[in-house]
Amino acid sequence: MFTSIRFYLMEVHQEVILFIFLMMEISRSMATLLPEMEFFQE
CA torsion angle for 26, 27, 31, 32 (degrees, to 10)? -30
Q: pLDDT band at residue 3, thresholds of 50, 70 and 90?
A: confident
Helices (H), the chain: 2-33, 38-41
Is residue 13 in a domain?
yes
41 domain-assigned: no
CA separation, residue 28 to residues 10, 20, 33 (Å): 27, 12, 9
Q: How far apart (Å, rounded) are the C-alpha atoms in residues 25 and 6?
A: 29
Q: For the residues 12-30, what does the mean pLDDT come to?
A: 90
Kindly state whether residue 38 falls inside one of the protein's structural domains. Answer: no
Whether the Cβ atoms of residue 11 and residue 17 lie closer than 8 Å to each other: no
Tell me, yes or no, whether 21 lies in a domain: yes
pLDDT of residue 40: 61
23 is a domain residue:
yes
Residue 37 lies in a domain: no
Within-domain flag for 17: yes
Residues of the domain holding 7: 2-32
Q: Report yes or no on 40 lying in a domain.
A: no
Number of domains the chain is built from? 1
